[in-house]
Structure 1
Amino acid sequence: MHTQTPIDAVITWVNGNDKSHQVKLSEALAKLGMQQRPIAAEPTRFNECGEINYCLQSLFRFAPWLRNIFIVTDAQIPPIIEQLENTELAAKIKLIDHREIFAGFEDVLPTFNSIAIETMLWRIPKLAEQFIYLNDDCSIIRPVTPDDFFKGNKLVLRGEWKTQTSKKWQNYFYRLKGFLLQKPPKLLTCSEHRTLQENSAKLTGWTKHFFHLPHAPFPMQRSTFAEFFTAFPHLLANNIRHTFRSPKQYWPISLAHHLEIKNNNAIIDNSLKVIAVNGACYSLGKIKQKLKQAERNNVAFICMQSVDLAPKQSQVWMLDWLNNRIITN
């Protein structure tokens, strides 16, 4: 059983519709000589459709044992904060500005890089040793306990081991073929998200495999980051210097989880599932199918991705489902 050790939650949030944010973004692009937005700065990375409302309400309802809920923003205030003013729930919420966690590294601000921001979350003042990190598009959809994230001093991790792309047998074959034909090989590639996870695994000594993480709330330990970055400060500095996402980076969440596994400080348990719903890629039929799966008893988390890019009918369906599941149910 989990002891009464305090556990906090950390959410990162940005409102891409905010005029001040848009001005900062335009200035950053101009400073880097970019005439148009790179993929790493596509509007969907910053737009929001009120997902944080459901994220917060899900924490209040299904994880009431959380001590504090830190919301990390760039001088922005989610509208729900005003709605909760003078309520008991408001006392749990703490707004954290980027300048607080980037203290001493202000030269890299403003940043529009979630990877850089996540690299600095452990520097939140008064953050609990054990905390849960989640993006604002992720919600808890049924009651959970501290033991679903931490068992004693060990972290409960969700995910699966996969082969590094460079080590897949197809790439060995393509390299041999290229050598025999004396032509550059056309190797398998992978998504940026996977690349960042593979980079993280390599930093901790896993060169053939990596532990692939789903989009779910992540249990974290503050001291793991503190000890690693104290030993390797250049890895922190290099990871936060990118104004926008870069495949040269590593994902600090994945890095920390690989460190926990390496140090025998993790329990891999996939008994609680997560369902990811992508409004930009999925048809309405597939969205309905995914949301039906989310009603199963072993599904505790849902990630509603790219709600802003979903067709209107799909968007309404996704948000109505969250409202019924978290607010009115």
Structure 2
Amino acid sequence: MQIIEPIDAVITWVDGNDEAHQKKLAAALTIVGRYRPEGAASTRFNECGELNYCLQSLFRFAPWIRNIFIITDAQTPPIIKTLEKDWLAKIKLIDHREIFAGFEKHLPTFNSVAIETVLWRIKGLADRFIYLNDDCSIIRPVKPEDFFRGNKVVLRGEWKTQTSKKWRNYFYRLQTKLLNKTPKLLTCSEHRTLQENSAKLAGFNKHFFHLPHAPFPLKRETFATFFENHPALLIDNISYSFRDPKQYWPISLVHHLELQNNSAILDNSLKAVAVNGACYSLQKIQSKLKRAELKRNIVFICMQSIDLAPSHSQQWMLNWLDRKIIKST
């Protein structure tokens, strides 16, 4: 008889409207100079009920998940009080103090990257688990095999060239030497920078595996083994109260380690769509979500910055989630 290993889910969540959270944030911002760095942008902490859709999507489209751990900072999501008994039994609230045990001096933190560095320290967490941001939902049925096959993780994404290795940067550096000019090197987004940093730590100096906004399959043992051998890297990454481009993204790091160890399968048959309410027009939002409805291989949706969307776009995004996840039959 085949023994099926359990698979858990882990979600990070914060209520930016909570008064206690706001006081902690204000104090932390004072330390860094009384301004909001990008890593402290208000949209990182505000929420529009995204967790509700995330949880409901797991209950409906991935009922095989054993436990759902929600990492919070001394907060209780309102949805917890409304869940049916059977679903509530799956939910475990995890305070930052638990996963930062022994490293409490780095709390409070407002840095998702720091939190992700220690999320594997949740007590009782299955060795195989799926990590999601609360703005990510599943919109069609998925199976365990969509995330894990045997002892391997199923990765989605694509290989890209490290920014520093792009030919234009070689050209700019050569131009600097020949003409004694200040180089105009290519730059990239912070999110990409963190992924590139992670790849380098795993030994990938020319390329990196770029991850989409989707649920990430992870193995607790991979985290534990790496940080047992490199404890200084853990401490350094959790020391930043806010996201910083000098950090690495632990999710990307672990995926690169799986690739390095030949314990990953690349499979892009299931797709993810990301929608950004802050910078997409309503027409673009509608176009992307219409595509998600029509293409049956699109099973993941990431609704970013709903709180910053114009009211008409925000309502359209929330209505779509209601229809697709909660009211759909």
**TM-score w.r.t. length of structure 2:** 0.98
1:139 is paired with a residue whose SS is strand
1:294 is paired with a residue whose SS is helix
User: Are 1:31 and 2:31 counterparts?
Assistant: yes
1:250-329 alignment to 2 at 5 Å?
A: 250-295=248-293, 296-329=295-328
Deviations 1:138-193 (A, max 9, x none): 00000000000000111000000000000000101111111111012010000000
Deviations 1:193-249 (A, max 9, x none): 000000000001100000000000000000000000000000000000000001110
Conserved? CA contact 1:3–1:152, under 8 Å:
no
Whichever residue aligns with residue 125 of structure 1, its letter is K
1:171 is paired with a residue whose SS is helix
Deviating beyond 4 angstroms after TM superposition, the runs of 4 or more aligned structure 1 residues are none
1:190 is paired with a residue whose SS is coil
CA RMSD of aligned residues (A): 0.8
Whichever residue aligns with residue 267 of structure 2, its letter is D
When residues 165 and 3 of structure 1 are mapped into structure 2, their CA distance, relative to the original with a 3 A threshold, is farther
Among 191, 197, 200, which residue is 1:199 paired with? 197
Unaligned 5+ segments in structure 1 are none
Deviations 1:20-74 (A, max 9, x none): 0000001111133x12111110100100000000000000000000000000000
1:141-152 alignment to 2 at 5 Å?
A: 141-152=139-150
Whichever residue aligns with residue 193 of structure 2, its letter is T
1:21-170 alignment to 2 at 5 Å?
A: 21-32=21-32, 34-84=33-83, 87-170=85-168
Residues of 1 paired with 2:243 and 2:37: CA distance? Answer: 9
1:88 is paired with a residue whose SS is helix
How many residue pairs were aligned? 326
2:130 is paired with a residue whose SS is strand
Q: CA deviation at 1:3?
A: 5.3
Deviations 1:264-321 (A, max 9, x none): 0000000000000000110000000000111111001000000001000000000000
Unaligned 5+ segments in structure 2 are none
2:17 counterpart residue number? 17
**TM-score w.r.t. length of structure 1:** 0.98
Residues of 2 paired with 1:50 and 1:196: CA distance? Answer: 28
1:237 counterpart residue number? 235
